[in-house]
Structure 1
Amino acid sequence: MRKPADFFMIQTMLIICITWSLQQIFIKLAANDITPIMQASLRNGIAALLVGLMIVIKKGWSPSWKGTLKPGIITGIIFAGEFLFIALGLQYTSASHIAIFLYTGPIFTALGLNFFVATERLKPLQWIGITICFIGILTAFGSSLLQNEIDITSLLGDFFGLLAGLFLGSITVIIRSTKLSEAPPTLTLFYQLLIGFIILLIIALISGQSAIFHLTPIAISSLIFQGVIVSFISYLIWFWLLRKYVATTLTIFTLMTPIFGVGFGVLILNDKLTTNFIIGAIFILLGILLVSNEATLSRFIKRLHK
């Protein structure tokens, strides 16, 4: 039986959310030394190597994983797309904006599962959450649209961030609706990292973005942080937490990630936040909260009516 939240879980989730929120910050800081697409490729390659070695050491390759190759390749392609749009988005808009739009992923997951998994039909409260989230997206986009001169560049970056969120949400839908739902998390992660590495490397080579490659201290730090700490250590800890604690409680805590992301963007990168974007971000986070934790919130509302 999975445990409810305790002090250890809260501390661990706080560290994980801070770690995840710093991804876009590190990519942006090192962008002049290694392009974002090349960074995304290398971080996936580093993490794929580490995850693969761990599976080999534990003798985890098993015939019981048969049937996972095709969906694994598909999730890997979508995973590459997610990081491609993150990288492109960071070239046009702020890390704070990407942090918010990327974490619309749960909304797209809920919509996808509603249509592809019979047991995952959306409840009324979740539809309300999706509506609120999309109102928030339109409001946040308005931070670029309602200026005296429309900031097309920032608007494009925001759109790429939203596409990254769509791709992030699609990965969960594919995992839940295929053989990957029965496979160990390490195998699913390995598929995504390896294929993401290959595809993004090809894109970087073809587009000429691999030509900018300077191993400065900040570039090396960025690659180590993303490849080892984020893509390897934090993901494995996250999967371990999912096996030990109630999933709905964990997902509530993940809402701290975009909040930290915006905060670090302002403090470290001097990102400018408009009123429209702040209001939109609040609506987006509220919508995600309603969609991801409908059961918990429904029980709470019923208690209030007693």
Structure 2
Amino acid sequence: MIAKRLDTLAISILTLLCMVFGLQQIAVKLTLPDISPVMQAGLRSVAATFLLVAWMKYKGETIFQRDHAEFWGIIAGLLFAGEFLVLYMALEYTGAARATIFLYTSPFIVALGAQLFIPGERMRMIHIAGLIAAFMGIVLAFSDSLFSPDSNLSETITGDLLALLAALMWGATTVVIKATPQSQLSPSRVLLYQLAISAITLPIASVIMGEDGVRQVTLNSGLGMLFQVVIVAFVSYLTWFWLIRHYQASKIATFSFMTPMFGVFFAWLILGESISLSFALALLLVASGIYMVNRN
């Protein structure tokens, strides 16, 4: 049974998840001096895969079995790994603010895919208006950092396109999970496909890209990786896929607009980065957009 609207429990869980996803960027940034970015993502997936397998064994789930969703599981896993790969590549060419803007076009991909491939997920004009309002809030929040007079135009465009590709992969992953036999699997099994495939592909990609990998292990990087493995890749992703299974994909995806807002807030709180006066208005736009998308 798929719920049409997000109830109070779902909204509370989604808000917490967006906070976690926002903190993830802080953890990645604090770990970067010690571990290169794509290798971080790969090691996170490796460790989280072992943690997930242990959880599934504890719950009595069979790890290796025919579930008639293998093909779509591999597709979702490759999209999941590809998203992180091209996103980190994008950050080599364009600014973090610009990459965030393009990455958070993902809910539009989910909304379009839901209309085409997921029965019963139809959006009215108010829902579309809500998506646009929330996205404009993200643009406003990062408006001060969008343009840099010193940036190389060709490199910036390359980075923007890579971030847009990451958004496409993120949205496509959600649609694949919701519109195929993957939707009938347990959240842990859905996550297993994605973690296992990215655990194999991302470390290999890091080596091919010539990254330094693990330079050293410090308290900051240790705590940062622990947070990414246990809280993000295991607990939060498992919860995210549970929500996708039980609620409309387009409504769930729209909530992700809150993530960069929390990211900005935590960057101010933890890293001392500045917040412009437009942030409050941006937050209002995001909240209004989410409200409109979740109206009947």
Q: TM-score range by the shorter chain?
A: 0.7 to 0.9
Mapped to 2, the partners of 1:189 and 1:286 lie a distance apart of 29
> 2:20 is matched by which residue type in structure 1?
T
Map 1:93-242; keep pairs closer than 5 Å. 98=99, 101-132=102-133, 146-150=147-151, 152=153, 157-238=159-240
Unaligned runs of 5+ in 2: none
Q: 1:164 to 1:246 in 2, by over 3 A?
A: closer
The aligned residue for residue 5 of structure 1 is: 8
Mapped to 1, the partners of 2:109 and 2:38 lie a distance apart of 24
- C-alpha displacement of 1:183: 0.9
Q: Which moved more, 1:56-65 or 1:211-220?
A: 56-65
Report the 3-state secondary structure (helix = DSSP H, G, I; strand = E; otherwise coil) of the residue aligned with 2:120.
helix
Q: Deviations over 1:196-216 (max 9, x none)?
A: 111111101112214443112
RMSD between aligned alpha carbons? 4.0
> 1:297 is matched by which residue type in structure 2?
R
- C-alpha displacement of 1:50: 1.0
The aligned residue for residue 295 of structure 2 is: 297
The aligned residue for residue 17 of structure 2 is: 16
Q: 1:205 to 1:264 in 2, by over 3 A?
A: same
Q: Does 1:32 align with 2:30?
A: no
Q: Which moved more, 1:215-224 or 1:242-251?
A: 242-251
What percentage of residue pairs aligned between the two structures are identical?
A: 36
Q: Would you say the 8 A contact 1:105–1:168 is kept in 2?
A: yes
Q: 1:104 to 1:145 in 2, by over 3 A?
A: closer
The aligned residue for residue 69 of structure 2 is: 68
Q: Would you say the 8 A contact 2:34–2:217 is kept in 1?
A: yes
Mapped to 2, the partners of 1:81 and 1:141 lie a distance apart of 25
Q: Does 1:54 align with 2:67?
A: no
Mapped to 2, the partners of 1:272 and 1:160 lie a distance apart of 27
The aligned residue for residue 87 of structure 1 is: 88
Mapped to 1, the partners of 2:214 and 2:21 lie a distance apart of 25
Mapped to 2, the partners of 1:139 and 1:48 lie a distance apart of 37
TM-score (norm 1): 0.76
- C-alpha displacement of 1:258: 2.2
Q: Deviations over 1:57-101 (max 9, x none)?
A: 323128985221111111011101111133234445565655554
Q: Would you say the 8 A contact 2:141–2:261 is kept in 1?
A: no
- C-alpha displacement of 1:194: 0.7
TM-score (norm 2): 0.78
- C-alpha displacement of 1:195: 0.4
